[in-house]
Amino acid sequence: MMNFHVLTLFPEMIEDALRTSITGRAMTKGLLSLHTVNIRDYSVTGNGRIDDYPYGGGAGMVMQAEPVMRAYEALQETMEKKPRVIYLTPQGQVFHQKMAEELALEENLVFLCGHYEGVDERVLEEIVTDQVSIGDYVLTGGELPALVMMDAISRMVPGVLSNQESGETESFQNGLLEYPQYSRPEEWRGKKVPPVLLSGHHGNVDRWRRNQSILRTLRVRPELLESVEFDKKDRKYLQSLIRQETENRITEEEINFLSKLLANKTKS
Ligand code: SAM
């Protein structure tokens, strides 16, 4: 059971999105819970205002420390031990699949969503345990990043995905991007499904998929290959790519990358 708590200025944004589709079904089943806290309810001026001008000048407004602290304290009172508190910020560590897997082991997770120019640093120092970014770009608020994280974490909570939706073969699960997927019909607008997928030969299908995963990763995210363990059959496929023996022509640059990769892997 995973309990998500979100400190936000826009609870409806979080509620609407997370109560939809697979995460919504998981809440109905009691595998996930969602508790949103509106930081505005903890305004110290009593009129719902929670932001003020930045000391030192500059554009925009800053979310004040006290309303955030009070909202957090009200939440923490309901918990037995201090939870992990994640502040969504473009200045944080970039979110990835392994982080989702690790966070899914927690019982409670608190997300703090910033807005405007961000949150007064002093309250971040007091309550935040992890600062996380969802990528190198700037959004208007932390709600979408919190939703991205909660969605990815939810998929790692046992029971949330049905067997059919199982995440085991998904991109990043084995360090590679996933192979291409096809469904009916066998021929669509003159394009045929790769014949091996219709062969019923599981061994060949698995090999084809693994090769496609390696090829895709090489083309789009070659750096990921550096942390992948290759077995004998993988190496054979990589060699065949270098020698241009497959129908998937690869570029000079990709050949050089693969040659170096294989040489390094043999050394280590
Ligand atoms: N002034 C901040 C800076 O330069 O680091 C950016 C503030 S941003 C306009 C407002 C809020 O959106 C942030 O406090 C954060 O909660 C959220 N945010 C924006 N981009 C994000 C990203 N890439 N990852 C996670 N949170 C982000």
pLDDT at 219 over 90: yes
Q: Which of 89, 137, 149 to mutate to test the pocket of ligand 1 (most atoms within 8 A of CB)?
A: 89
Q: Which of 146-155, 170-179, 232-241 has the lowest mean pLDDT?
A: 170-179
Residue 17 Cα to ligand 1 middle (Å): 20
pLDDT at 168 over 80: no
> How far apart (Å, rounded) are the C-alpha atoms in residues 205 and 211?
10
Which pLDDT does position 46 carry in this prediction?
82
* Closest C-alpha to ligand 1, atom 9: 140
Give residue-wise pLDDT tens across range 101-140: 999 999 999 999 999 999 999 999 999 999 999 999 999 9
Which pLDDT does position 164 carry in this prediction?
66
Which pLDDT does position 108 carry in this prediction?
98
**What is the pTM (predicted TM-score) of this model?**
0.95
Report how many helices (DSSP H) and strands (DSSP E) the chain contains, helices first.
9, 9
| Helix runs in the chain, H state only | 11-18, 21-28, 65-76, 97-103, 121-127, 143-154, 202-220, 232-242, 252-267
Which pLDDT does position 166 carry in this prediction?
72
Residue 178 Cα to ligand 1 middle (Å): 30
Mean pLDDT of 173-182: 94
Which residues sit with their C-beta closer than 6 Å to ligand 1? Answer: 88-91, 113-115, 117-118, 133-135, 137-142, 145
pLDDT at 173 over 80: yes
Which pLDDT does position 264 carry in this prediction?
92
